[in-house]
Amino acid sequence: MTFLTPPSLRFIQFPGITQAILKSKPPVQNEILKKKLLYRSTHRGCKEMDLMLSTFIKSKIDSFEPDGLALLDDFINENELEIMEWIIESKNIPSKYNSLVKKIVKFNRQ
């Protein structure tokens, strides 16, 4: 059985919203990025990763500077299996994410 989405619901455009976000001041961009990271950390696919990342991000997201948020965004978009291997230390952690992974591990061991 196949469900079809009507063409009008496949893509909803909000004229001007994207431009407004891109032209907004950095604090607004940071808040949008924080919301994106919170959502993405709870909807990864693997429940264990959802719990590990979402609890860390919920408690620490306000302490990240803009560069840290960008790094966290890159990290969240990595392959889920690789992130898990980095956290359980069965695979070498890329130097880019070394301190972030250590913070996540330390936070989840408390």
- CATH code for the part of the protein at 27-109: 1.10.150.250
Q: Which residues make Cβ contacts (< 8 Å) with residue 53, sequence separation at least 6?
A: 41, 42, 44, 76, 83, 104
Q: What is the pLDDT along the chain (110 residues), one digit of tens a residue?
A: 554 544 444 444 455 544 454 455 567 778 888 899 899 888 887 888 889 999 999 999 999 888 888 899 999 989 888 999 998 888 899 999 999 999 999 998 87
Say what the pLDDT of residue 23 is: 52
pTM across the whole model: 0.70
Hey, what are 100's tokens? 């972030």
Could you state, in order of their start, the residue ranges of all structural domains in the chain? 27-109
* CB contact at 8 A, 82 and 91: yes
Place of tokens 């004229």: 15
How many angstroms separate the CA atoms of 46 and 27, rounded? 31
